[in-house]
Amino acid sequence: MNNSTLQRYQKEFAGKFGGGSAFGFWKGRVALYAILRAMGIKEGDEVIMPGYTCVMAVNPIIYLGAKPVFVDIDPKTYNMDPNQIEAKISAQTRLIIAQHTYGIPADMDAILDIGRRKEIRVIEDCCLSMGSTIRGQMTGTFGEAAYFSFQWNKPYTSGLGGMALTSNDDLGQRIEELCEHETCEPSSKQINLLRLQLMIYRSFIYPKTTALAQETFRTLNKWGLVVGSSQSSEMTPKMEPDFFKRMSGMQASAGLRQLGKLDENLAHRRKMRALYDRFVDEHGWEGPKISDDADPVLVRYPVRVGDKAEALRRASGHFVELGSWFECPLHPIETDMSAYGYHEGMCPEADKASHEVVNLPCHMRASESTAKRSVAFLAKLANAK
């Protein structure tokens, strides 16, 4: 049953993007690893990516002996500044990863143009963008391949999960071969723990009970009952022996259910963004800058504040679900960034955004009053921008 559920999910997922092939994995980072392997990324190769990302998106590059090269962000879009890419290209550059941060589409025209001129391949990190479009075309269909995450905080969740998508037949074939010959299955313990977490997630997590939900998770964690989305071993650049795992049937059926509600989810997120835009504007702050030809679906709504630590500290007492990412250019804050070749000052706008940006919920459980209350909370702190 596992296999056929996964096949169906992969097919329906690809269908949302007009076709191509999709391949399910245990997590998003594993999907990226599969794409890199299929592209033959190897020791000594360089991969260009934004210096405002999740360390889990960097690990697979390091696992293969390749070198991540970080490009600073445009402070208004939170995406890689295309004007700074060419200066980072060397004879070793093999790939550019265009990440659609918070769901805001990266400047794909400019990035694809650089890729064509310099003969460098381009893929997309869609872990935070599901349903965002540029001139009506879905993010995830611009590059040679794209990868997605279904972890708790992502546009939709199956607890954990990831998908690789490509409409390039050769690449699809190679990913398929890797899936057949090199991946392992998640253990039944991992699957059962994830199933339990999903149940708890569905019954407990509402914006107003975030503190309760977090407390519940902390307790379960103490009992050893949480499949962490990231163990501390994953914040160091060393691959675990069972890293290359496929998606379980349980994740696939949870994913299928979510996919069935996708249109409703995307419409809700668009509505939430419009509300935040309005409330943020009423305070004279600046929302994220969206290019005229893009229609983004935001995973969370980013706002800059003067004292991020203070805002985060006070949020849960006010029942405000304030997100902290990205806490540093290679989220989370525990990352030893120098082990990844990142040094403070390498991407000054990313450093600054990490210190200033908090994000607000756009998910299905957030409503107009959530948006109003969250923005009012930030306004009371009197330090939003």
Ligand X SMILES: *Cc1c(COP(=O)(O)O)cnc(C)c1O
| Among 20, 24, 28, 103, interactor with ligand X by CB under 6 A | 28
Nearest residue (CB) to ligand X, 38 versus 384: 38
Size of the site for ligand X (CB under 6 A): 15
> Whose CB is nearest to ligand X?
28
Question: Does residue 145 belong to the site contacting ligand X (CB under 6 A)?
Answer: no
Angle at 304 between CA 29 and CA 342, to 5 degrees: 45
100 Ramachandran zone, left/alpha/beta (phi>0; psi -120 to 50): beta
Q: Using CB under 6 A, which of the segments 41-49, 120-128, 204-212, 332-340 binds ligand X?
A: 120-128
Kindly report the backbone phi and psi dihedral angles of residue 332, in degrees, each rounded to the nearest multiple of 5, phi listed first.
-90, 180
Nearest residue (CB) to ligand X, 183 versus 375: 183
| CB 54 to ligand X: min, Å | 4
Question: Does residue 127 belong to the site contacting ligand X (CB under 6 A)?
Answer: yes
For residue 360, the surrounding DSSP H or E stretch is strand 357-361
CB count in 10 Å sphere of residue 262? 16
Binding mask 34-63 for ligand X (x = CB under 6 A): -------------------xx-xx------
C-beta separation of 221 from 193 below 8 A: no
Nearest residue (CB) to ligand X, 53 versus 210: 53
C-beta separation of 163 from 30 below 8 A: no
Match 């962490």 to its residue by tokens: 228
- The pair of three-digit structure tokens given for residue 215, joined into one six-digit string: 């407390």
For residue 166, the surrounding DSSP H or E stretch is strand 162-166
Nearest residue (CB) to ligand X, 46 versus 125: 125
Measured between alpha carbons, how far is 90 from 296 in angstroms, rounded to an integer? 32
| Among 47, 73, 98, 128, interactor with ligand X by CB under 6 A | 128
Nearest residue (CB) to ligand X, 171 versus 247: 247
- Please give the residue ranges that form the binding site for ligand X (CB under 6 A): 27-29, 53-54, 56-57, 99, 125, 127-128, 149, 151, 162, 229
